[in-house]
Structures are given as structure tokens and as C-alpha cells.
Amino acid sequence: MRQRKAGGGIPSKYLLTIMSIICIMLLFISYSTGFSGGPLEVVANHIFIPMQKGIDYIGGSISISSADTKTKEELISENEDLQAQVQDLNSQITSLQLKLDELKELQDLYQLDQTYYDYETTGARIIGKGTSNWFNTFTIDKGTSDGIEVNMNVLADGGLVGIVTSVGKDYAVVRAIIDDTSNTSATISSTEDNCIVSGSLEQMTKNNLIDFSNLDDDDNAVAIGDTVVTSNISDKYLPGLLIGYVSSIQEDDNDLTKSGTITPVVDFKHLSDVLVILQVKESYKSEGL
Amino acid sequence: MKDYKIYLRRILVVALVIFVCFLLQTSVFSRYILGGVTPNILLCVVSTYGFMKGRRYGILTGFSVGILLDIYSGAYFGMYALIYLYIGFLNGLFKKQFFGDDLRLPMILIGTSDFIYGIISYLTLYFIRGRYELGFYVTNIILPEVVYTLLVSIFVYYIILHINNWVENLEKKGSDRIGTY
């Protein structure tokens, strides 16, 4: 037994020490240089991503076939509901069209040709969820070959989902705004007051909400239900992307700022397709960090 | 030459097990969330190889699994590698107590490993950022994960056990043949 051990390679305690040192070195390297895999990412790209795409495709078709089994009555009632909704929305569209024309005229007057919502986007599918229960990250099926870069913003359901944190040839890892380590600079759109939106695992598990803090609101103008969008001063997020609606608000202990919670517009539990904005915020690029 | 072949086969088998379990964890079980958590299948793999094959196996399996998770996690690179490495090593210490068919020791070891993994994750990723509600995280994230992982690990453990027996039989056959020549 002892002989075999001697012939079979390094004793385990040395192996443990060597491997620990390698890990700690990797930690320091990634902390100081932002290294996140290098050549290993290429291997991962070719081995895991095609399989994940395949599994996602199979899983998607299974869930579609289970949706097929709705009864006729359900379909009829659903159809009636939708018809009513269509009429409702049609009337809204006509009134909004009028307002839009007015807005366009006014914008022309002010020469505001910068329209915030005209970003070029590309659709992507989520092919893998996070690797642990502590982080809200997911993998999408597009990468550098589709023009995706780190720090691009990701949308779904008309709201902000998160930001690309690392990218390979055919995949990208996205960190959701509900992730515990995520902090977003945001603006209350009615009062133009800035605040910080930070994800919280605790709030998310308890109430499906995200926290906001550092809101400077001296006039008590911010009310429950106000929309929260990304702010102009954010260094990574493009301005004017919808985050959610204020659901509760209270004064901080210092009597200067306020904090509270936000209901996100995106349903993070049932996310399958996302849109990636193919544009990185200019201020971040020019800083060249 | 024969040794080299055996090592290559062992590495390939472990790599295949890790590959399948990684896909199960990220793409299949992420669709079947129970109580807000997904099971940690890769931890089962590291733990099982640790107490089944010993410390060195545990260390190397843990390290490879950790690196794989680090590539996809987007957080600090090397973090998971370090945690899984030590989980593999600690499970390797129980190799002498391990007998294949008894399910108690594997279950206790996998459960404890997952609990320790949860506590370490909390301390390194949450506590240092000022999230002090340990009770909340234990009851809502760590314990549900342990229970779900244990449920899944019954299957994972038996599958890995059978694969391992098959590999060891092949190796035995190979050495017998050398003896008869």
C-alpha cells in the first residue's frame, strides 16, 4: 500500500498545499487584472455551450407541448379577455399617438434629436442559470461573434434585466440587477431625483422586491408607484431604461436621504429570452478603465 | 504504458461525469426550482469522489469542478476552486470509513459538505459585505439547498458508484491479463 502511494505521485498534503497556492494566486490575478479564464473560456465555449443550447431547445419544446393542452373553454375565455384588451389598447394608442406627435413637435422646437429608446439590440436566449443559489447570474447564447461586449445592458419585458459581466465567443454571462452584488445608479422619473438601486437576495426571496437608497427628496415629492429608470450619471448603464416602480419608501435615520423598495418590471423567475443593447455607455469607454 | 492508459481512462470518466452533472445543474435543474433553490449536484460529485477514492482524487476533482464554476460565475476567479478543493480533501479523509452499499455515511458526508459550503459561501460572499442576517440565509438558502441536494444525491451517488465499479473491474481485468501472459 505504502509502496503504491510512493509510486503513484505526490502525497496528498503537498498536493493540497500546491493547489491552494494556485487558487490563491488565481484569486489575486483575477482581482488585480480582471482575468476570468482566458484559454479556459475557449474550451468552455466549445464544449459546454452547444450542449446547453441543445438542452434548452429540448426543454423549450417540452414546455410548449404542455402549453398545447389547454381546453377549448379556457381558450374561448382567454380569447374574449384578449379581445377586450385589444380594444382597450387601441383606444390608448390613438390618444398616445396624438401626444407623441405633440412631443415630437416640441422636441423639434427644442432641437432634442437625441432619442433614448433607439438603441440597436439583438435577441438572445438564456441557456443556463447561475452556478449557485447565492448569485443571480445566467448564461446567454450569444457572444463576441454577435458583437456582444462586457458592460452591455440587457433588457426583457421592456425593463432592465442586468449587465454583461464576462463574454466568450458564443456565450456571455449576465449579472441580473436583483443580484446581491449589483448596484445601479437610478433616477425617479417624475422628480429627477437620483438614488442607488441595489439587489438584495433577502428582499428578493421574501417579497420579490429590490432595494433603493440614498434618495435625496426634500420636498416629499416621490410617491409609491413612481417609475424608476437608470440615470444619466451611471457609468455603465445607458440612461432611461425602466427598472421598476417604487413600492415602499421611508426616511433614513439621518433625516437627509430616503430609502425603500422597488417592484421590478421584469419577471426574473420566468425569464427565457432577453435583448442585449449593442452599445456601451460612452463615458465608460472614454475613461478606459 | 499500461499505467498511462489507466490514468487516461480514469480522467476521461471523471471528466464525463463532471460534464454531465454541470449540464444537469445549470440547464436541467434550473427549470425545476424547489423552495427557491437548485440542487448542488457538482458538490455531490466532488464529495462522492472524495470519500470513494481518497484525498488526492477529491482534491483534483474539486479543483476542476471549481475552475469550471469560476468560468461561468463571473465573480472572483479561483474562489469556487478553493472551496471545492477543500471539500474534496475533507471528504477524502473518510475513505477508510466508507463501504459501498451503506447509504448513511455518504448521505451524512454530502449533507455536511453542502452545509459547510453554504456557510463558507455566506461568510465570504455576504458577511463581508455587511449582510449579517445569518438566520435568514440558513433557513431560506442553505438548508433548502441541503435537503434538495440530498434528494438528488441518492441517484447521483448510486450512478457514480456503478461507474466506479465498472472502471475498477476493467482495470482488474487488464491486470489479470498481464498476469496470465
Contact B71 A41 (CB under 8 A): yes
Nearest by Cα to B51 from B109, B12, B104, B124: B109
Q: What values do phi and psi take at A208, rounded to 5? A: 60, 40
Q: Which residues, listed in sequence order, are joined to residue B94 by a DSSP beta bridge?
A: none
β-pair partners for A176: A162
Q: Which residue of A has its CA nearest to B121?
A: A134
Render A146-189 in DSSP notation, one character per residue: GT--TT-EEEETTEEEEEEEEE-SS-EEEEETTSTT-EEEEEET
Q: CB distance B74–A137 less than 8 Å?
A: yes
Confidence of residue A111 (pLDDT cuts 50, 70, 90): low
Strand A273-277 to A227-230 pairing: unpaired
Instruction: Find, in chain A, the residue whose alpha carbon is nearest to that of B124.
Output: A134
Query: Which of chain B's residues have a Cβ under 8 Å away from the Cβ of A8?
Result: 56
Torsion-angle region of A119 (φ positive above 0: left; ψ -120 to 50: alpha; else: beta): beta
Residue A107 lies in a domain: no
pLDDT tens for residues B5-47? 888 888 999 999 999 998 888 888 877 777 778 899 999 999 9
- Comparing CA positions, the residue from A99, B165, B96, B128 lying closest to residue B157 is B165
- Rounded Cα–Cα distance for residues A47 and A51 (Å): 7
Reported as a pLDDT band with limits 50, 70 and 90, residue B109 is: very high
The whole domain housing A13 covers 2-33
A270 and A133 in a single domain? The answer is yes
Length in residues, chain B:
181
Across A52-72, average pLDDT: 72
Which residues in chain A are contacts of B133 at CB distance < 8 A? 202
Same domain (yes/no): A22, A148: no
- A20 inside domain: yes
A108 lies in some domain: no
Q: What is the pLDDT of residue A165?
A: 87
Give the CA dihedral A169, A123, A152, A154, nearest 10 degrees: -130
Chain A interface test: which of B41, B69, B72 (most A C-beta within 10 Å):
B72
| Mutation site for A-interface testing, chosen from B22, B61, B71 by largest number of A Cβ within 10 Å | B71
A158 plus A274 within the same structural domain: yes
Candidates A26, A51, A131, partner chain B, best to mutate (most B CBs within 10 A): A131
CATH of the domain at A140: 2.40.10.340
- Inform me whether the pLDDT recorded for A284 exceeds 60: no
pLDDT at residue A2, as a whole number: 41
* Mean pLDDT, chain A, integer: 81
Contacts of B112 (CB under 8 A, 6+ apart): none
Decide: A86 and A244 in contact? Cβ < 8 Å: no
What is the pLDDT, as a whole number, of residue A68? Answer: 63
A265 shares its domain with A139: yes
* Contact indicator for A239, A229 with CB cutoff of 8 Å: yes
Residue A13 lies in a domain: yes
Q: Contact at 8 Å (CB) between A158 and A114?
A: no
In this prediction, residue A37 has a pLDDT band, given cuts at 50, 70 and 90, of: low
List all residues of chain B from 54 to 113 with a beta carbon under 8 Å from chain A.
Answer: 54-56, 59-60, 63, 66-82, 85-86, 89, 92
Give the pLDDT score at A65. Answer: 61
Among B19, B36, B77, beta carbon nearest to A26 = B77
Q: How distant, in Å, are the alpha carbons of A155, B24, B73, B149, B156 from that of B152?
A: 34, 11, 22, 5, 6
Q: Where are the alpha helices (DSSP H) in chain A?
A: 2-7, 12-33, 39-67, 72-110, 201-207, 282-287
Report, as an integer, the average pLDDT of A201-227.
85
| A23 and A161 assigned to the same domain | no
Q: Average pLDDT of A229-239?
A: 86
Residues 6+ away with beta carbon under 8 Å from A36: A30, A166, B70, B71, B74, B77
Mean pLDDT of A49-59: 81
Q: A149: number of CA atoms within 13 Å, CB side?
A: 8
List CB contacts (< 8 A) between A5 and chain B. Answer: none
Please say whether the beta carbons of A235 and A286 come within 8 A.
no
Scan residues 125-164 of B and list those with Cβ closer than 8 Å to A.
125-126, 129, 131, 133, 136-137, 140-141, 145
Residue B141 has pLDDT above 80, yes or no: yes
**Does A212 map to a domain?**
yes
Q: How many domains does chain A have?
A: 2
Structural domain contains residue A54: no
pLDDT at residue B159, rounded to an integer: 92
Determine the Cα–Cα distance for residues A203 and B158; give it in Å rounded to an integer.
Answer: 38
Architecture, CATH, for domain B2-176 = Orthogonal Bundle (1.10)
Q: Which of A111-125, A215-229, B137-151, B154-168 has the lowest mean pLDDT?
A: A111-125
- Hey, what's the cell of B54? 481518497
Residue of chain A minimizing CA distance to B25:
A131
Q: In this structure, are A24 and A137 located in the same domain?
A: no
Distance from CA of B134 to the nearest CA of A (A): 11
Q: Is residue A167 part of a domain?
A: yes
What is the C-alpha separation between B101 and A249, in angstroms, rounded? 57
Are residues A116 and A281 in contact, defined by beta-carbon separation less than 8 angstroms?
no
pLDDT of residue A118: 67
Same domain, yes or no, for A16 and A130?
A: no
Minimal Cβ distance to B75: which of A16, A47, A135: A135
Residue A9: closest C-alpha in chain B:
B56
**Is A259 among the domain residues?**
yes
